[in-house]
A and B are shown apart, each in its own frame.
Chain A
């Protein structure tokens, strides 16, 4: 029988390898925010209040490019809707928790933490306190994310514009999905989204950022239907 603190600690250890990507990503997010011309306090506020790397970059990029608040907020919603999927899986393990504890633990549900928690809980089915593992991964990722975006904000003011650091944005997102390139169905959805974004780029209010994923998801839905 593992104690609560041991399970929590195991969660911390499980996400440590992910720091190799989380920390540079956080630094890039902070630095890009400053480069796009946002007040450092605002850049940091996105890390604390939104707390979702990809969506923070897009949010700032859209607003600085003249998109309306509605488009920026909707984009954040679309990008972060993947958490619904994580929550749907985790809810089974968190069922016994009180409502308040569920509300607290929800804030710490992050991509890498979810991936590690799901793997561990699947392997240790009769764990009595699986939520300590989820918390261990989430809290660790939270601290590193906050510290690395702050470092990026500080470093950002020293990075010359000639470096074209903005190019790190598409590269970062490429790195996130590069593993899915091995799955043909995912590649198909990616191409639909990518070409849609090029065609719709001049649509008003930067709405391509919402329209393209919707078109790609409809394509995914049709593809799933045809498969059966």
Chain B
């Protein structure tokens, strides 16, 4: 079943890459659709980020003092000013580890 899902997902993804290049004519995509497609990253990724930060492994909302919330805030500030992908991830992880391994022990 997993293999089946991977293959179908692969076909769907390949189609998203190939459709505009090989099949569909550029003019077939209206400017309105293109404008909305611009927001796809902004629409997709917060739906992954918010639950990952605000819910625990059991799908219950975490307390406002949860280490994940602090880690996310640090990553947000570092990312905003550094504009660097690695600095964002590393700063978030390090501050999260610092809290769970040193402050909470």
Render B9-20 as a binary contact track against A, CB cut-off 8 A, 1 for contact. 110111011111
Complex-state Cα separation, A95 to B70, whole angstroms: 49
Near B by CB (< 8 A), chain A positions 35-57 give 38, 42, 45-46, 49-52, 54-55
Chain B interface category by residue count:
35 or more
Count of CB-CB pairs between chains A and B under 8 Å? 256
In the complex, are the beta carbons of B20 and A170 less than 8 A apart?
A: no
In the complex, are the beta carbons of B88 and A85 less than 8 A apart?
A: no
Near A by CB (< 8 A), chain B positions 36-89 give 36-55, 59, 61, 68, 71-72, 75-76, 79-80, 83, 85-86, 88-89
Given contacts A170-B52, A178-B83, A224-B36, contact A193 B43 (CB under 8 A): yes
Complex-state Cα separation, A212 to B96, whole angstroms: 27
A204 on interface, CB distance cutoff 8 Å: no
**Which partner residue on chain A sits nearest B96 by CB separation?**
A167
Complex-state Cα separation, A180 to B44, whole angstroms: 13
Given contacts A58-B48, A63-B5, A170-B53, contact A82 B72 (CB under 8 A): no
Which B residues are CB-close (under 8 A) to A49?
Answer: 6-7, 9-10
A226 on interface, CB distance cutoff 8 Å: no
In the complex, are the beta carbons of B9 and A103 less than 8 A apart?
A: no
Per DSSP, chain B at the interface is helix
**Which partner residue on chain A sits nearest B77 by CB separation?**
A178
Complex-state Cα separation, A217 to B45, whole angstroms: 12
Which A residues are CB-close (under 8 A) to B32?
Answer: 221, 224
In the complex, are the beta carbons of A178 and B79 less than 8 A apart?
A: yes
Residue count of chain A within 8 Å CB distance of chain B: 89
In the complex, are the beta carbons of B12 and A190 less than 8 A apart?
A: no
**Which partner residue on chain A sits nearest B59 by CB separation?**
A201
Given contacts A102-B21, A107-B14, contact A173 B49 (CB under 8 A): yes
Complex-state Cα separation, A166 to B55, whole angstroms: 12
Binding site for B on A (CB under 8 A): 20-21, 24-25, 28, 38, 42, 45-46, 49-52, 54-55, 58-59, 63, 69, 72-73, 76-88, 90-92, 94, 99, 102-103, 105-107, 109, 163-164, 166-182, 185-187, 189-198, 201-202, 208-209, 212-214, 216-217, 220-221, 224
